[in-house]
């Protein structure tokens, strides 16, 4: 079972470790949320799982106890040493622990053959890296499932629909590859130290035919959302060899126009955006 708030404080004192706000070190102390994470991801014996920021090992231990094969990356050297001393001896064959930056190692050095065979991600994701980490994950082998503890505002942004102020480039990239399944709200009281925001377990299931954007198109879409108030015609005029003419045909067929703004256009229409060769 996860440590209680008082037991978590005691362990942190024993380790001489002070939670680092900049690293999003809010440790989960609610056993129901740990179990919910595993339930949503459907973690079972024999699964390959990636965890980001295992911290004190609360979620880590629960994953390993299912019999899953776990690959985890921890940035904090102090916490990495704690996990190395406590969990590696207990699970020498199924726990693969890496010290490093999750943005540089989004899948915790998961071997290519393991990734190709299918894997899941279950993580209490440090809020500061959620978007760059997710962008890195979407650029490589795609997990079959992701259950991510996120700041509620971030989860809302990823799941946002066209026409809302929260809808952005990352919403498009995520929703092109994943269906958003029912998740779970998580109160601030479920953590120590208690964060200033509410959290949410975002539950993502890979689509049968996930769509992944080319890197150049991703950059172009991001640039459109960096100037949200501008019309797409003005934004793309100088950024595409044809001034956006080919895509505007698709846009018009879907009921929009070059006068539309980026946040109004549905995901399916963005998927038709291509960069034509220069004349």
Residue with the two structure tokens 């985890």: 72
Residue 232 CA to residue 54 CA, distance in Å, equals 42
| Cα 157 → chain centroid | 12
Residue 236 annotated as part of some ligand binding site: no
Q: Is the peptide bond before 90 cis (omega within 30 degrees of 0)?
A: no
Residue 124 annotated as part of some ligand binding site: yes
Residue 74 annotated as part of some ligand binding site: yes
Residue 93 annotated as part of some ligand binding site: no
Helices (H), the chain: 5-15, 31-41, 58-65, 77-86, 112-117, 130-137, 152-158, 169-177, 215-225, 232-236, 245-253, 267-270
Q: Are 42 and 181 in contact (CB under 8 A)?
A: no
Among 76, 181, 182, 82, which Cα is nearest to 129's? 76
Longest dimension (CA), the chain: 67
Residue 55 annotated as part of some ligand binding site: no
Residue 64 annotated as part of some ligand binding site: no
* Cβ burial, residue 278 (10 Å; 0-12/13-18/19+): exposed
51 vs 18, 102, 120, 186, 224, CA distance in Å? 22, 10, 9, 19, 32
Q: Are 5 and 60 in contact (CB under 8 A)?
A: no
From the annotation, which residues make up the binding site?
Answer: 26, 28, 53, 74, 101, 124
From the annotation, which residues make up the binding site for S-adenosyl-L-methionine?
Answer: 26, 28, 53, 74, 101, 124
């Amino acid at each position: 079972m996860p440590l209680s708030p008082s037991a978590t404080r005691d362990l942190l004192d024993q380790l001489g470790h002070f939670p680092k706000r900049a690293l999003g070190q809010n440790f989960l102390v609610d056993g129901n949320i740990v179990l919910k994470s595993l339930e949503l991801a459907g973690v079972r014996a024999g699964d390959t799982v990636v965890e980001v920021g295992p911290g004190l090992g609360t979620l880590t231990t629960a994953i390993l106890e299912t019999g899953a094969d776990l690959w985890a990356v921890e940035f904090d050297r102090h916490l990495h040493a704690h996990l190395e001393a406590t969990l590696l001896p207990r699970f020498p064959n199924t726990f693969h622990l890496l010290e490093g930056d999750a943005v540089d190692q989004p899948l915790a050095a998961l071997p290519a053959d393991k990734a190709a065979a299918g894997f899941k991600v279950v993580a209490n994701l440090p809020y500061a890296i959620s978007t760059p980490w997710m962008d890195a994950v979407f650029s490589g082998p795609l997990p079959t499932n992701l259950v991510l503890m996120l700041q509620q505002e971030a989860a809302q942004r990823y799941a946002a629909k066209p026409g809302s102020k929260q809808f952005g480039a990352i919403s498009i990239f995520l929703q092109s590859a994943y269906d958003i399944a029912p998740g779970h709200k998580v109160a601030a009281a479920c953590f120590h130290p208690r964060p200033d925001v509410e959290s949410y377990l975002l539950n993502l299931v890979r689509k049968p035919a996930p769509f992944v954007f080319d890197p150049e198109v991703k950059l172009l879409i991001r640039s459109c959302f960096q100037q949200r108030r501008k019309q797409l015609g003005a934004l793309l005029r100088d950024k595409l060899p044809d001034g956006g003419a080919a895509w505007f045909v698709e846009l018009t067929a879907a009921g929009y126009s070059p006068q539309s703004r980026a946040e109004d256009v549905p995901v399916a229409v963005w998927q038709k955006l291509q960069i034509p060769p220069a004349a």
